[in-house]
Amino acid sequence: MAAASETHFRTCPFCEATCGLRVEVAGGEVVSIRGDEDDVLSQGFICPKAFGLKELRADSDRLRAPLVRRDGELREATWEEAFAEIDSRVGPILERDGRDAVAVYAGNPTAHNLAAMIYLRVFLRALGSRNIYTASSVDQMPKHFSAGHMFGHWTSIPIPDIDRTDHLLIWGANPLVSNGSLLTAPDMRGRIRRIRERGGKVVVIDPRRTRTAEHASEHHFIRPGTDALALFALVATLFEEGLADPGPMADLCAGIDDVERLAAEFAPERVADACGIPAPGLRRMARELATAERAAVYGRIGTTVQEFGTLASWLVDVLNVLSGGLDRPGGAVFTKAAAGQSNSTGVMGRGRGAAAGRWASRVRGLPEVLGELPVSALAEEIETPGEGQVRALVTIAGNPLVSTPNAGRLERAVAGLDFMVSFDIYVNETSRHADVILPAPDPLARSHYDLALYQFAARNVANYSPPVFELEETLLSEEEVLLRLTGIVTGQGPDADTDAIDDAVAGALIAREVGAAGSAIEGRDPAEIAAELEPRRGPERVLDLMLRVGAHGDGFGARPGGLTLERLEASPHGIDLGAHEPRLPDVLRTPSGKIELAPEPITRDVDRLRARLDAGAWNGAGPEMVLVGRRQLRSNNSWMHNLNALVKGKDRCTALVNPLDAERLGLADGGRVRLRSAAGAFEAPVEVSDEMMPGVVSVPHGWGHDADGVKLRVAAAHAGVNSNLATDETAVDAPSGNAVLNGIPVELEPVPAEVVA
Ligand SMILES: Nc1nc2c(c(=O)[nH]1)N[C@H]1C(S)=C(S)[C@@H](COP(=O)(O)OP(=O)(O)OC[C@H]3O[C@@H](n4cnc5c(=O)[nH]c(N)nc54)[C@H](O)[C@@H]3O)O[C@H]1N2
Ligand SMILES: Nc1nc2c(c(=O)[nH]1)N[C@H]1C(S)=C(S)[C@@H](COP(=O)(O)OP(=O)(O)OC[C@H]3O[C@@H](n4cnc5c(=O)[nH]c(N)nc54)[C@H](O)[C@@H]3O)O[C@H]1N2
Ligand code: SF4
Ligand SMILES: [Mo]
């Protein structure tokens, strides 16, 4: 007899779209996963990765117990043994070599995980190391850098008001495949279609004619890395043609004249050749942006993970300001998130601003941004002897040996560490080097709330999902693991009282809030607030606090009817908090209380851009071929390739090249190519397609699962190759230190058929 089934509503934890799922379970297993038609944001939309939740739960390679290295081999151990090993190995390193000797790398899934969002910070603060690295510095750090300096807070990143715009310029993003990033908007295909249906226009700028480009009104190839030039050309056009007009917010803008002066030397006619977009096309793009009723510019990976990531990220928002779209319905808007958003609480309109470079990496002097260092510096910080040398590494939901530049060098560096811990679900390319692996629970066995991603949502929404399943018996919750690690690095030993640490965490957050000027609970009695949060503990207690003091919260009685976790628990499809409303000037946290259009930490990088242009880096003296990346619908960075439903079918890790290049270089579709850069080399199957811009080769990242010791049986059969073997850790975006993973000069050489085994 079939077990009775029950239905759970649940937010998908895999990508930034945060789709609502309807999960049917029976007898402790997932029976089906469908889109939740009633979800306030996704309204039934899902992608094929959602089914990965079922396979991931059943995946026999997913770790169910800690592993500890004994006699060179990773062997199953108890949690007590694992924590005791960490304590006895990390303790002496901290004592002998100092806090900076222990580095942490935290990966992308931490941004999709409520417990990690809260307790990772607790652990990092307790550790007190300057060697903190995250996937942000192979991703969006330039955008934080530009938004921080322009608007005063690192996460004050405007998003396109996609459901109301009638002109959307998509720059270096492929949201039909990635499902959006720094833009939480499920069903981008539908949203883009609706722009066109209401008479609007969608323009895509990308060196590849992507799926997004195919659904757009217009697409232009652009030479990788030249985005800052082309964006400057648009800005120059607006000024030259009298179209630069921030509208009513002009009084709020500082530095317009500086922008005009800087842009003047990058007129379309000057940069067209380098960018590969004819000058009249650039001029028309600028005019259409300025004259559209409601227009927005949106940039993503193609604008951030490249040589001039900060300049490009900044110019995207300069264009949003000068074309009159910033903070207007249908333009580029600021969200008002329900929890954890500093620009919608406290004192409005002015603040301390965002300061980067408070310290620098020891070897190369790369800047600290947001309390972390660029991961491009990690290998040299491990290899280079001297005070502050990294001797131990903790990876948390990250796979840096696949995801970060010059993966070959990092792998050699990691082999020389004294000690390494990985908190992960698999023995993969990175964790196989660890001395201890701590397994993380199945996502369905934890609660979910998107603290990070709702900061960038197409509508203001809040949605909480309780766990679908109980934690597997042999596993610990994320918060428990992070609190145990916190106990270890604070000298409390391997079995510290995690309840007491958790109480201290909540107590400190409450104390900060009641002491914060402008907080909804400013001046209240902390004990009374703590009592109101009873009996919640762990992430739920902190989330309830954040929601209640948040912009839509009940303020613990100050705003009756406002949001609480209890209300979210009673709303399994989420709560819609409305469309975006103008937030200027309140949203600003700059010391001046203005939008800083030309902050010096950004504009000083213009010299570097000019020097590269003058040196003919992109026309004439430039490389014949450059490497860029791409995302694929059934992948999620490096880690969903062990799920058969997502990897089956033909090899997806291919080198895409234009027919002209294939012909010139002697490459055949289905043959193999060797790509070599200054940093390293790899081989991949060739796919010839005119969707590529001539001179550009595209290889997806996140593959290469056939290394020794990796325990991913399905992924190993679809191994692919790690494209970051050829990306270069010495190339960074100067202001933010972010890695350059697109536009890498490479040489391509056919691999003779007889050499192929
Ligand atoms: N060449 C090139 N490289 C790139 C990019 C590119 O475009 N081109 N993109 C970059 C970007 S944007 C990013 S975000 C990074 C991603 O870089 P990373 O975050 O380093 O890589 P992921 O592949 O996301 O690895 C996630 C890890 O977390 C583990 N994991 C999954 N779920 C959980 C969980 O619930 N708990 C725990 N503890 N572990 C879990 C997985 O097994 C995996 O080891 O890659 C970057 N690398
Ligand atoms: N299916 C799937 N979805 C994902 C992920 C995944 O791995 N798979 N990863 C998630 C993560 S961590 C992130 S950060 C987001 C990223 O989300 P997106 O940025 O939308 O994803 P990408 O496919 O990397 O798109 C970047 C585009 O930039 C183009 N490009 C490369 N170099 C340049 C350049 O120099 N200039 C310009 N203008 N364009 C360039 C590439 O051709 C590519 O089409 O996706 C998220 N969603
Ligand atoms: S689009 Fe993203 S959030 Fe939505 S179902 Fe797919 S992986 Fe999950
Ligand atoms: Mo990312």
pLDDT tens for each residue of 439-462: 999 999 999 999 999 999 999 999
Q: Which pLDDT value is given to residue 753?
A: 82
Q: Determine the pLDDT at residue 4.
A: 84
521, 514 Cβ separation under 8 angstroms: yes
Does residue 378 sit in the same domain as residue 414? yes
In a domain, 346, yes or no: no
Ligand 4 mean position to 587 CA, how many Å? Answer: 25
Q: Relative to the alpha carbon of 308, which ligand is closest? A: 2
Query: Is residue 1's pLDDT more than 90?
Result: no
Mutate to test the pocket of ligand 2, among 14, 181, 187 (most ligand atoms within 8 A of CB): 181
Q: From ligand 2's centre to the CA of 174, what distance in Å?
A: 6
Residue nearest to atom 38 of ligand 2 (CA): 172
pLDDT in tens, 166-216: 999 999 999 999 999 999 999 999 999 999 999 999 999 999 999 999 999
State residue 227's pLDDT score: 98
pLDDT tens digits for 647-687? 999 999 999 999 999 999 999 999 999 999 999 999 999 99
Nearest-atom number in ligand 3 for the CA of 636 is: 7
366 shares a domain with 258: no
Is 440 contained in some domain? Answer: yes
CA of 175 to the centre of ligand 2 (A): 8
Tell whether the model's pLDDT for residue 144 goes beyond 70: yes
Q: Which ligand is nearest to the CA of 448?
A: 1
Ligand 3 centroid to residue 365 C-alpha, Å: 38
Question: Average pLDDT in the 691-720 region?
Answer: 97
Contact assessment for residue 646 and residue 634, using Cβ atoms and an 8 Å cutoff = yes
Of 578, 606, 635, the residue at which a domain comes to its end is: 578
Average pLDDT of the residues of the chain? 97
For residue 317, count CB atoms less than 10 angstroms from its CB and return exposed for 0-12, middle for 13-18, buried for 19 or more.
Answer: buried
With the most atoms of ligand 1 within 8 angstroms of its CB, the residue from 15, 49, 399 to mutate is: 399
Domain co-membership, 362 together with 502: yes
- For residue 53, the ligand closest to its alpha carbon is 3
Query: Would the CB of 226 count as within 6 Å of ligand 2?
Result: no
What does the pLDDT read at residue 652?
95
Q: What is the domain extent for residue 329?
A: 161-339
Mean pLDDT of 254-266: 98
Query: C-alpha distances in angstroms, 489 versus 435, 685, 690?
Result: 17, 46, 54
pLDDT band at 97 (very low <50, low <70, confident <90, very high): very high
Cβ < 6 A, ligand 3 pocket: 12, 14-15, 17-19, 46-47, 49-50, 179, 186
Nearest residue (by CA) to ligand 2, atom 18, is 173
Ligand 2 centroid – CA 740 distance (Å): 13
Q: pLDDT by residue (tens digit) across 334-370? A: 999 999 999 999 999 999 999 999 999 999 999 999 9
Q: Is the CB of 225 under 6 A from ligand 2?
A: yes
Q: What are phi and psi of 520, to 5 degrees?
A: -65, -20
Domain boundary among 542, 561, 578: 578
Percent of the chain past pLDDT 70, that is, above it, reads: 99
Helix (H, G, I), strand (E, B) or coil at 709: coil
Taking CA atoms only, the protein residue closest to ligand 3 atom 2 is: 15
Q: 182 CB less than 6 Å from ligand 2?
A: no
Same domain, 38 and 88: no
**What is the Å distance from ligand 2's center to 87 Cα?**
39
Gap from CA of 629 to ligand 2 centroid (Å): 7
Q: Is 569 a residue whose pLDDT tops 80? A: yes
Q: Which residues line ligand 1 (CB under 6 A)?
A: 107-109, 113, 135, 138-139, 301, 305, 396-400, 403, 423-426, 428, 440, 443, 629, 637-639, 701-702, 723-724, 727, 741
Report if residue 75 sits inside a domain. yes
Ligand nearest to the CA of 112: 1
319 and 434 in one domain?
A: no
Number of domain units in the chain:
4
In a domain, 587, yes or no: no
Average pLDDT over residues 55-77: 97
- Does residue 461 share a domain with residue 332? no
User: What is the rounded distance in angstroms from the CA atom of residue 334 to the CA atom of residue 498?
Assistant: 37
Instruction: Report, as an integer, the average pLDDT of 608-635.
Output: 94
Maximum Cα–Cα distance across the chain: 77
State pLDDT tens for residues 183-194: 999 999 999 999
Q: How confident is the model at residue 307 (pLDDT cuts 50, 70, 90)?
A: very high
Same domain, 674 and 574: no
Quick: pLDDT tens for 454-492.
999 999 999 999 999 999 999 999 999 999 999 999 999
- For residue 118, the CA-to-ligand 2 centroid distance in Å is 27
**Cα distances (Å, whole numbers) of residue 78 to 266, 434, 439:** 62, 16, 11
pLDDT band at 620, cuts 50/70/90?
confident
Considering the domain architecture, whether residues 50 and 75 belong to the same structural domain is answered as no
- Within 8 A by CB and 6+ apart from 258, the residues are 597, 598, 603
Does residue 670 fall inside a structural domain?
yes
Answer whether residue 114 is part of any domain: yes
Is the same domain home to 11 and 78?
A: no
Q: What is the DSSP letter of 366?
A: P
Q: Of 278, 310, 339, which closes a domain? A: 339
* Residue 105, domain member (yes or no): yes
- Mutate which of 177, 301, 628, 638 for ligand 2? The one with the most ligand atoms within 8 Å of its CB, which is 301
Structure confidence at residue 621 as a pLDDT band (50, 70, 90)? confident
pLDDT of residue 312: 99
Give the distance (Å) from ligand 1 centre to CA of residue 102: 21
CATH code of 44's domain: 3.30.200.210
Q: Whose CA is nearest to atom 26 of ligand 2?
A: 173
Q: How far is the CA of 585 from the centre of ligand 4 (A)?
A: 30
Q: Give the position of tokens 């026309």.
A: 619
Residues 487 and 533 in one domain: yes
Backbone angles phi, psi at 661, to 5 degrees: -70, -40
pLDDT band at 746 (very low <50, low <70, confident <90, very high): very high
Determine the Cα–Cα distance for residues 691 and 214; give it in Å rounded to an integer.
Answer: 10
Could you report the per-residue pLDDT of 545-559, keeping only the tens digit for each?
999 999 999 999 999
What CATH number is given to the structural domain containing 535? 3.40.50.740
**Predicted TM-score (pTM) of this structure:** 0.98
Residue 314: CATH number of its domain = 3.40.228.10
CB of 18 within 6 A of ligand 2: the answer is no
**Measured in whole angstroms, how far is the alpha carbon of residue 148 from the centre of its chain?**
16
Angle between helix axes 478-489 and 114-127 (nearest 10 degrees) is 0
Query: Which atom of ligand 3 is least distant from the CA of 35?
Result: 5
The ligand minimizing its distance to the Cα of 18 is 3
Q: Would the pLDDT of 755 be above 80? A: no
> Mean pLDDT over residues 241-259, rounded?
96
Task: Return left, alpha or beta for 637; rule: phi > 0 is left, psi -120 to 50 is alpha, else beta.
Answer: left
Do 655 and 554 fall into the same domain?
no
What pLDDT is stored for residue 619 in this prediction?
A: 84
Q: Is the residue at 714 inside a domain?
A: yes
Q: How far is CA 436 from CA 62, 367, 392, 497, in A?
A: 15, 30, 12, 21
Confidence of residue 596 (pLDDT cuts 50, 70, 90): very high
Q: Are residues 261 and 171 in the same domain?
A: yes
- Dist. CA 396 → ligand 1 center (Å): 10
Structure confidence at residue 2 as a pLDDT band (50, 70, 90): low
CATH of the domain at 647: 2.40.40.20
Q: Using the mean position of ligand 1's atoms as its centre, give its distance from the Cα of residue 536 in Å.
A: 31
Ligand 2 atom 35, closest CA: 224
Instruction: State the Rg of the chain over Cα.
Output: 25
* Ligand 3 pocket, mutate which of 10, 11, 12 (most atoms under 8 A from CB): 12
Atom of ligand 2 nearest to the CA of 208: 42
Is the confidence at residue 756, as pLDDT, over 60? no
Query: Quick one: which of 396, 403, 404 has its CA closest to 420?
Result: 396
